Amino acid sequence: MVNIIWAVMAIIGIVYAAATGRMEAVNKAVFESANDAVALCIGLVSVLVFWLGMMRVAEEAGLLRGLARLFRPLIVRLFPDVPADHPAIGYILSNITANLFGLGNAATPMGIKAMKELKKLSGSDTASRSMITFMAMNTAGLTLIPTTVIAIRMKYDSAAPTEIVGTTLCATVVSLVGALLLDRLFYNLDRKKAKK
């Protein structure tokens, strides 16, 4: 559906530009935007490669296992219908760890694997309580180091590209707490409706 909306907007823009004699401006904007996009992607690749390398070093040093051990009791409590030794817990912990370092692209495969495991566990095509909780947590995305945003700020010559770390941490903590509270609220409301 979103693809259709974008296509319709692009077509309307091109038709309007042709009708008003502004096709030259559209062509110029298209080529400049494409050039900027390629330059931005190349700049982001170097930062993402660096942080993925750091994640690999952290994994080899045992830091990720330590973080997983630290978060495991909390995750087990947030997902009470998932056995503590189930593979889904490991994927959820890996996803959270990658998100903590602002590596959303690296976190996505782990999130997909976690959802597949949670679906197997529920045995239904309907989203289970654990799937909804995980989606809420993943969407909130607690972040310690927003690597992608820092990379974009560095690309555009920000005087202090890392100054957003504190505000990002505060914003993502608030969004995570809000997401979990709403998740629990709606879960309890559904349970009350089911009892009636």
Which 3-state string (H, E, C) describes 91-147?
HHHHHHHHHHCCCHHHHHHHHHHHHHHHHHHHCCCCCCHHHHHHHHHHHHCCCCCCH
For the cut 80, the answer to whether the pLDDT of residue 66 exceeds it is no
Mean pLDDT of all residues in the chain? Answer: 83
* Torsion sign across C-alpha atoms 115, 109, 142, 85: positive
* Whole-number pLDDT of residue 122: 85
* Whole-number pLDDT of residue 64: 67
Note if the pTM is more than 0.75.
no
d(CA 158, CA 19): 39
| H helix and E strand count, the chain | 8, 0
Q: Average pLDDT in the 159-182 region? A: 91
d(CA 143, CA 168): 7
In the numeric block, the tokens 């009791």 are attached to: 73
d(CA 6, CA 132): 28
* Whole-number pLDDT of residue 181: 93
User: Coil, helix or strand for 160?
Assistant: coil
The pLDDT tens digits for 85-141 are: 788 888 888 888 878 877 777 778 888 888 999 999 888 888 888 899 999 988 888
